[in-house]
Amino acid sequence: MAALNSADALQVSGLRKRYDDRDVVAGISFTVPTGTCFGLLGPNGAGKTTTLRCCLGLTRPDGGKINLGAYDIPADAEAARQRVGVVPQLDNLDPDFTASENLLVYGRYFGIADATIRARIPGLLDFAGLGGREKARIQTLSGGMKRRLTLARALINDPDVIFLDEPTTGLDPQARHLIWERLKQLTARGKTLILTTHFMDEAERLCNRLAVLDNGHLVTEGAPRELIAAHIEPQVVEVFGDDAPRWARSRNGLAERLEVAGDTAFFYCRDPAPLLAALADAPALRYMHRAASLEDVFIKLTGRELRD
């Protein structure tokens, strides 16, 4: 099977999907260069999973064009999927099989010879930090191990592009860091990653570029640092405590922008010195001074309202 072979691993143009008379993906466009990591961010219901499913040919779009490398999706989806790996949101490993049997069975779906799969398994388990666990039953693996095994499974066909739907949700910090290291190694080897995540630190560390979706619309797209520079003042001072909102509103002029949420006041500023001086005179208040982050961009663009 030929590699996807293209400067851009994925091109999405004017993608549209309707459910129940509502555009859940409302004409979005983005391009993912080969060998990079691209993030799809957005609150619940923004249309991320629908977008991924359309790119994989699992959901039929109502409009637009998708190219996965040289393949047209959905027309050539079956052929394209031979070159693609998928890490779904929920682990769907087969509990009746061992770790290596899970990889073997999955590899057979791609029509790969058993001998080839068996030759790949030790290297993939090593890569996933599961060396020596060939015979482990799925129930005996921790959540982090299962995620890593799912990642190893997604690599069984040596894919060019790997789609990951919330790859570290539910993992402890150690397990997340290990997954991040492995994902970075994959892009260093020239693989293309397309992931969804709710973790802004994850997106900031892993993604070369990312898009923020909201209500089916792409609200911004770019490199994490570019987005922070474009949307947010560089310095943030968070002041918290019962008296913080009242205190903050009376010092509104000390920052370019002030937002109050619950008992926290967020001052967004270019020069924090006058605000920090004022805080030095208010020892009862607690505060944190930090650089602007992707989370600030996300909240500014998609709001603070809960989405269920």
Q: Which residues bind ligand ADP (CB under 6 A)?
A: 19-20, 24, 42, 44-50
CB under 8 Å, gap of 24 or more: what pairs does 219-225 form? 219/301, 219/302, 220/297, 220/301, 221/30, 224/294
How many CA atoms within 13 Å lie on the side-chain side of 286? 5
Nearer to ligand ADP, 20 or 281 (CB): 20
Nearer to ligand ADP, 49 or 168 (CB): 49
Q: Round to whole Å and give the CA distance between 261 and 259.
A: 7
- For residue 66, the minimal CB distance to ligand ADP (Å) is 15
- For residue 22, the minimal CB distance to ligand ADP (Å) is 7
At 266, list the tokens. Answer: 């967020």
- For residue 210, the minimal CB distance to ligand ADP (Å) is 14
- For residue 44, the minimal CB distance to ligand ADP (Å) is 5
Nearer to ligand ADP, 24 or 138 (CB): 24
Nearer to ligand ADP, 89 or 293 (CB): 89
Nearer to ligand ADP, 31 or 89 (CB): 89
Where in 197-295 does DSSP place strands (E)? 209-214, 217-222, 235-240, 257-261, 264-269, 286-291
- For residue 185, the minimal CB distance to ligand ADP (Å) is 27
- For residue 21, the minimal CB distance to ligand ADP (Å) is 11
Nearer to ligand ADP, 270 or 304 (CB): 304
Apex CA 296: angle with CA 201 and CA 292, to 5°? Answer: 80
Orientation of helix 143-154 relative to helix 173-188, angle to 10° = 10
- For residue 87, the minimal CB distance to ligand ADP (Å) is 15
Nearer to ligand ADP, 215 or 264 (CB): 215
Q: Round to whole Å and give the CA distance between 233 and 239.
A: 16
Residue 219 DSSP symbol: E
Residue with tokens 């060939």: 134
Q: What DSSP string describes 106-123? A: HHHHTT--HHHHHHHHHH
- For residue 146, the minimal CB distance to ligand ADP (Å) is 21
Nearer to ligand ADP, 23 or 259 (CB): 23
Which residues on neighbouring strands pair with residue 90, listed in sequence order? none
Q: Round to whole Å and give the CA distance between 4 and 89.
A: 24
Residue 199 phi, psi (nearest 5): -95, 115
Q: What DSSP string describes 170-209? A: T--HHHHHHHHHHHHHHHHTT-EEEEE-S-HHHHHHH-SE
